[in-house]
Amino acid sequence: MALTLTEKILLAHTDRDELTPGEVVLVRCDVVMANDVSGPVAFRAMKKMGAERVFDPSKVVMVADHFMPAKDARSAGLLKSLKDWSDEQGVTYYGQGRGGIEHTLLAEEGWVTPGIVLAGGDSHTCTHGALGAFGTGLGSTDIAACLALGEFWQAVPETILVRLTGDRSKYVTGKDVILAVIGRIGVAGGTNQVLEFTGEGAAGLSMDERLAVANMAVEAGSETGLFAADEVTGKYLEGRARRPWTAEASDPDAHFSGVLDIDLSALAPLVSKPHSPGNVVPVSDATGTKIDQVYIGNCSNGTMTDLRQTAEMLRGHKVHADTRAIIVPATQDIYRRAMAEGLLDIFVEAGAIVSTPTCGACFGGHNGVMGPGENALTTTNRNFKGRMGSGEAGVFLANAYVAAAAAVAGEIVEPHEVH
């Protein structure tokens, strides 16, 4: 029987011989992850379940990233509870100065390999589909069950095949690919389904860009955003992978619930306007919008690729006098590499500030939240009302070229106008 990549992965993680779309099965986890927001709530639930120990400490990873460094005493309490619990259970813990933003970090640290199931207490766990893994976001009670039993329940999803063709023009990145998809199918268009990216356009995306694409699959309602493992994946995992792996792909005659064709050569840089990630227009339709703060970072676009694109735009320029710019490398390792390459110097010289890795202002937590009447242009993944602070602020989502160009111009412009 012909199977999708998702069905192959799930089959290998259940006791079933076959799967029917929609049926609920128990799926075994290879990695269970939580952070300082989802973790402590999960620990309470785990206690109520009567579970004293995790199912397998070698498969559990805790990451301090949302309110790290602590924004106030209450956040410090959560961060402490995350560390204390991790020490007690003997699981891997990435704390302040040792890790960074969970999704970028787990990929970087080799926890994610093709074919695994990764259950994460964060909706952007779909990011790990970039490596051919079934990474999916769950709530804290689900995570508690995963910690206790190593399993979660899952309705077998169907797959929408996204076929990417054509060569991208300059300034069109992975961010634009996923914004184009969300613009086409809408914010609920992928609900209870997986997005699988394929075609020469998918093969041509670097791992950093695949992470950016998969990261926003949940913004279309999807369970994960998959890329079958290929040479790019193999190269990325060299010296990194924590376990042996084999490449698998959907069978050519597998059943897909939908097919979406995107011609990358027809794509221009895009921007998602307030207050929905599905509110996607070409940058040219949003030019002239005044921007009070540019934010480059987060689990979708805080990679070396994004920082290099930012540096390319900021080199020899100054951030506009009426605009603030915050650049947040996603992990400690990216921070150091950006420093070694001289990128951080370009940012600071231009008048941007460089933050330590954190989820920070992306979710309105701390470290650069927005005030009433202000506009932000960010490389993050959500622009819901109030997402970055005030409900009276507007958030525009775009790639790093567009964001850096806006930092220089003080308003939304096409990147070539600055460069």
Q: Figure out which of the listed residues 114, 121, 183, 357 binds another protein, where binding follows CB under 8 A.
A: 121
Q: Would you count residue 129 as binding another protein (CB under 8 A)?
A: no
Please check whether residue 400 is in contact with residue 296, taking contact to mean a CB–CB distance below 8 angstroms: yes
**Which is nearest to 120 in space by CA: 152, 72, 85, 159?**
152
Please check whether residue 381 is in contact with residue 277, taking contact to mean a CB–CB distance below 8 angstroms: yes
Q: Would you count residue 247 as binding another protein (CB under 8 A)?
A: no
> CA 119, CA 151: separation in Å to the nearest integer?
9
Q: Figure out which of the listed residues 16, 44, 98, 235 binds another protein, where binding follows CB under 8 A.
A: 44
In the complex, minimum distance from the CB of residue 45 to another protein, in angstroms, rounded to a whole number: 6
Q: Would you count residue 49 as binding another protein (CB under 8 A)?
A: yes
Q: Would you count residue 142 as binding another protein (CB under 8 A)?
A: yes
User: What are the beta bridge partners of residue 135?
Assistant: 118
The token duo for 284 is: 């040219």
Which of the stretches 106-114, 148-156, 321-329, 402-410 binds another protein when contact is defined by CB under 8 A? 148-156
User: What are the beta bridge partners of residue 70?
Assistant: none
In the complex, minimum distance from the CB of residue 160 to another protein, in angstroms, rounded to a whole number: 14
Q: Would you count residue 96 as binding another protein (CB under 8 A)?
A: no
The token duo for 207 is: 């791992």
Which of the stretches 49-57, 108-116, 239-247, 370-378 binds another protein when contact is defined by CB under 8 A? 49-57
Please check whether residue 253 is in contact with residue 231, taking contact to mean a CB–CB distance below 8 angstroms: no
**Which is nearest to 176 in space by CA: 239, 265, 68, 49?**
265
- 294 phi/psi in degrees, rounded to 5: -105, 135
Which of the stretches 4-12, 100-108, 232-240, 362-370 binds another protein when contact is defined by CB under 8 A? 362-370
The residue type found at 205 is L
Q: Which residue has the tokens 């020469």?
A: 200
In the complex, minimum distance from the CB of residue 260 to another protein, in angstroms, rounded to a whole number: 19
User: What are the beta bridge partners of residue 293?
Assistant: 324, 376
Q: Figure out which of the listed residues 165, 206, 257, 276 binds another protein, where binding follows CB under 8 A.
A: 276
DSSP string of 80-140, one letter each residue = HHHHHHHHHHT-EEE-TTT-BSHHHHHHHTT---TT-EEEESSGGGGGGGGGT-EEEE--H
In the complex, minimum distance from the CB of residue 111 to another protein, in angstroms, rounded to a whole number: 19
Closer of 22 and 342 to another protein (Cβ):
22
Which of the stretches 8-16, 131-139, 169-177, 204-212 binds another protein when contact is defined by CB under 8 A? 131-139
The token duo for 372 is: 């009433």
> What string marks each residue from 54 to 83 as x (binds another protein by CB under 8 A) or -?
------------xx---xx-xx--x--x--
The token duo for 29 is: 């986890």
Q: Would you count residue 336 as binding another protein (CB under 8 A)?
A: no
Residues contributing to the site for another protein (CB under 8 A) = 22-24, 26, 37-38, 40-41, 44-45, 48-51, 66-67, 71-72, 74-75, 78, 81, 121-123, 137-142, 144-145, 148-149, 153, 155, 187-188, 191-192, 218-219, 221, 223, 276, 278, 363-366, 369, 382, 384-387, 389, 391
